[in-house]
A = this chain, B = another copy of it.
Amino acid sequence: MNKEHGEKLNEVREYMLDLEHLNQAIGLVYWDMRVGIPKKAIDSRSEVIGYLSGESYKIATSDKVKEFIDYFEGVNGLDDISSSMIENLKKEYEKTKKIPSDRHKEYTILASKSEVAWEEAKDKSDFEIFKPYLQKVVDFKDEFISYWGYDKNKYDTLLDFYEPSITVEKLDDIFGELRDGIVQLLEKINNSKVKPKDDFFKKEFSKESQEEFSKFVVEKLGYDFDAGRIDESVHPFTINFGNKDVRITTKYLTNEFRSALFSTIHEGGHAIYEQDIPDELNGTGLGTGVSMGIHESQSRFYENIIGRSKSFWKYFYPEAKKRFPQFEGVSLEEFYKGLNTVEPSLIRTEADELTYSLHVIIRYEIEKALINGKIKVEDLPRVWNEKYKEYLGVEASCDAEGVLQDMHWSDGSFGYFPSYALGNIYGAQFLNKMKKDMPNMYEEIEKGNFEYIHKWLSENIHKHGAVYKPADLIKMVTGEELTAKYFIEYLNKKYTEIYDL
């Protein structure tokens, strides 16, 4: 690479660093709004976020960025990080610039009103309240797709925001296979005589004892409290301001043992990913998880594949019993099975490991049809209920339990849902490779040596940040294209054992 290119790359990184600084401040203001802000300040703080976001937008779409992009047009021989940085810069710039700024502004206002309408509609369990807003959001998305363009399927353009390189064509295959696999397994489980108990999780557990135990567990898993902290919020989330400050939130239910613990482990998985991003990616725009799907693979890997495994509890259960006399008389086997009961249900966020993906696949199928005009906004409640009946055998008694349960559509996040199920699929495919690389991994988990798997994840996935596309990463790491087969195998093995199928 010639010297001039090197200098220009440094200039780009300096410029991007400013943007990262600003975005970190926005992130902190956002975190504070969800964790600690006094209630009278909410409106004025929204204006602060509005102002800062506007500045961030200006920096990301400035003439300077255009100049950088033009400079590197046709330049070859850059290292992986630099070429990915430039490519990413260009992609973001073009996506943003293609939307006329007045339409973008109108959409932002609509999205915020639509969120409020959704909240009211959910509270009153009345889809009609939300319908006109959702219609406008869908119309906007259609208009935006016309600016962005698409190849085979309009929905591909939206998927690309969350999972670059994933398409409807691929997802139809992968999700189709997964759906059939889960539905078959579910049928067997429904016919099984084994009905694990989980009533011992529904006793009283003080907030303090849950908090201490959750912190003890995530620290063991590799979460670094010198580069993060745990607070409470209404909805648990992970947020990071660089790789040195990755914060988790959780919510404690004093009548349920599993809720806060597994949500903390889940968010811990996201957080460990971000904490592991190397410093050298600062100022490249690539110093973060590569996609929503890969991010969910890390959170769900820690939450389910590790956190709901027997090996994990062989190590942690004695500690849990010491701290929680509520488990007196409950054997490890009973405890483990209690954590893995399967029960088709209406609410995605409360679903078990097996049925969770079906909730997601239903949303995928609906979004795809909606964006391509195969169904209309007014059809949503009906289609929703039909699919829940067909795949899960359950019926919502009202819209709040059905089509209104998630907020994702209210601000137009179509294309996001598939990430959740992709996370499961990626995770099991990674697991398959891990077991080959470390045949003794479960034995190490039983000994409490979580550094062993953490190091593997860090070396194979985390250290790359967003340098490689998800499709390239899975190939690099596992040697294969993405496939649902390992996740289906994993589920079959796990539940066959638990339910004696």
Q: A37 within 8 Å of B by Cβ?
A: yes
| Residues on the B chain within 8 Å of A22, using CB | 51-52
A47-B21 Cα distance, complex, nearest whole Å: 7
Enumerate chain B residues within 8 angstroms of A41, measured Cβ to Cβ: 227, 241-242, 244-245
Instruction: Give, as a whole number of angstroms, the nearest-CB distance from A327 to chain B.
Output: 29
Interface residues of A in 46-93 (CB under 8 A from B): 47-48, 51-52, 55
With an 8 A cutoff between CB atoms, is A29 at the interface?
A: yes
Closest Cβ–Cβ distance, residue A321 to chain B (whole Å): 29
Does A180 have its Cβ within 8 Å of any Cβ on chain B? no
The distance in angstroms between the C-alpha atoms of A22 and B40, with both chains bound, is: 19
Residues of B within 8 A of A241 (CB): 41, 45, 48
Q: Restricting to A237-258, which residues have a CB under 8 Å from any CB of B?
A: 241-242, 244-245
Does A479 have its Cβ within 8 Å of any Cβ on chain B?
A: no
User: A44 near B: Cβ within 8 Å?
Assistant: yes
A25 at the interface (CB under 8 A from B): yes
A-B contact pairs, 16 of them (CB 8 A): A18-B51, A21-B48, A25-B26, A25-B29, A25-B48, A25-B52, A28-B32, A36-B229, A38-B225, A38-B229, A38-B244, A40-B226, A41-B242, A41-B245, A44-B242, A45-B241
| Among B21, B24, B26, B48, contact of A24 (Cβ-Cβ < 8 Å) | B48
Q: Which of A216-242 contact B (CB under 8 A)?
A: 224-229, 241-242
Q: Does A39 contact B (CB under 8 A)?
A: yes
B21 touches A51 (CB 8 A): yes
Name which residue of chain B comes closest to A39, CB basis: B226
Chain A's interface size range is 20 to 34
Q: Which residues of chain B are within 8 angstroms of A52 by Cβ–Cβ distance?
A: 21-22, 25
A501 nearest CB across to chain B (Å): 46
By a CB distance below 8 angstroms, the chain B residues around A55 are 55
Contact between chains at B244 and A40 (CB < 8 Å): yes
Q: How far is the CB of A211 from chain B (nearest CB, A)?
A: 16
- Across-interface contacts of A36 in B (CB, < 8 A): 229
Q: Judging by beta carbons under 8 Å apart, are A44 and B244 in contact? A: yes
Q: Which residue of chain B is the closest to A245 with respect to CB atoms?
A: B41
How long is the Cα–Cα vector from A26 to B227 in the complex, in angstroms?
21
| CB neighbours of A40 from chain B (8 A) | 224, 226-227, 244-245
Q: How far apart sit A44 and B25, CA to CA, in the bound complex (Å)?
A: 12
Please measure, in the bound complex, the distance between the C-alpha atom of A32 and the C-alpha atom of B28, giving whole angstroms. Answer: 9
Which residues of chain B have C-beta atoms less than 8 A from A48's C-beta? 21, 24-25, 241
How many angstroms from the CA of A48 to the CA of B17 in the assembled complex? 10
Q: Quick check: A38 and B242 within 8 Å, CB to CB?
A: no
Residues of chain B contacted by A38 (CB below 8 angstroms): 225-229, 244-245
* A227 partner residues in chain B, CB cutoff 8 A: 38, 40-41
| Of A38, A39, A241, most B-chain CB atoms within 10 Å | A38
**Apart from A22-B52, A28-B29, A44-B245, 12 more pairs, CB < 8 Å:** A21-B47, A24-B45, A25-B48, A37-B245, A38-B225, A38-B227, A40-B226, A40-B244, A40-B245, A43-B244, A44-B244, A45-B241
